[in-house]
A and B are shown apart, each in its own frame.
Chain A
Amino acid sequence: MNALEKEREQPAAEKLITVQTSRFGEIAIDQDRVITMTSPFLGFPESKRFILRPHGPDSPFMWLQSLDNPDLAFVVIRAGLLGEAYDPQVPGPAMKELEISGENDRDMLLILTIPKGKPEDITANLLGPLLINTSKRLAKQVVLDPNKYDPCWPLFQK
């Protein structure tokens, strides 16, 4: 089972902290589930800490909510959902920065852009995926080869 699935587990009460968010109001989060960025988030350098919230039990989507900016939340999916179509080679230095030692403690998320009024034109950013060390809860948006990966890849392939 993937480590990110643990988001669904109930945290111990003493580890809970409350955070104000625009989208979800005041939320209680488990301190151990906080994800820390190892490099400034491109465009949002003030946001260093995030929390992943599943959208629902049958949904592929998750919310990546900033704990440093109540207004900032992304919709993300696990890159693995794209199957063989997307299996990029991750730059070695990024793996080192995130202290990733093996396949078991890494995961990759894709940030989605959902155009207002045209949600069916949803795209995934394949150029800048979020690489996560799932055991140490560290993350970084890595920049891949722009000749190979599209920053607005249509998620609904026809």
Chain B
Amino acid sequence: MLILARKVGEAIVIADDIKVRVLESKGGLVKLGVEAPNEVAVHREEIFLRIVEENKKAAMETPADLSSLAEAFSLNKKEQEK
């Protein structure tokens, strides 16, 4: 991993068009400003990890038979529509 030390106000540049600047550092909390092209998705890491975790859970727990669940789904839907 590349490790860079930056002061408040300083930035790093990734590729040609992504800039990450340290805006504020107070009590263990660092505020970062990210300038990136629109097509570059920027998320907090935990959001990604949350989806990875949910995907893994979804893949792990698939049941052998979905028929009774399909039935329950349509019953539930009808009930909601009432």
Contact B63 A116 (CB under 8 A): yes
Q: How many Cβ-Cβ contacts under 8 Å join chain A to chain B?
A: 106
Assuming A56-B70, A91-B41, is B63 touching A125 (CB within 8 A)? no
Given contacts A119-B68, A143-B43, is CB(A114)–CB(B61) below 8 Å? yes
Mark the stretch among B7-15, B16-24, B25-33, B44-52 that contacts chain A.
B44-52
Q: Which of A55, A60, A151 contacts B74 (CB 8 A)?
A: A60
Q: Which chain A residue has the least Cβ–Cβ distance from B68? A: A119
Q: Determine how close the nearest CB of chain B comes to the CB of A151; give it in whole angstroms.
A: 5
Task: Classify the secondary structure of B's interface with A.
Answer: helix
Contact B61 A143, beta carbon cutoff 8 Å: no
Q: Which of A8-16, A27-35, A69-77, A100-108 lies on the face that meets chain B?
A: A69-77
Within the complex, the shortest CB–CB distance from B75 to chain A, in Å, comes to 9
Please name 15 pairs of A and B residues whose Cβ atoms are closer than 8 Å in the assembled complex, sorted by A: A44-B55, A56-B66, A58-B70, A59-B67, A60-B73, A72-B59, A73-B62, A112-B58, A114-B61, A125-B51, A125-B54, A128-B55, A143-B47, A143-B51, A146-B47
**Measuring CB to CB, which residues of chain B are less than 8 angstroms from any residue of chain A?**
38-41, 43-44, 47-48, 50-59, 61-63, 66-70, 72-74, 76-77, 80
Rank and list the top 9 A-B pairs by shortest CB-CB distance, nearest first: A59-B70, A93-B39, A43-B52, A43-B55, A128-B51, A113-B58, A151-B54, A42-B52, A156-B76
A residues in contact (CB < 8 Å) with B: 23, 41-44, 55-56, 58-61, 72-75, 81, 91-94, 96-97, 111-116, 119-120, 122, 125, 127-128, 141, 143, 146, 151-152, 155-157
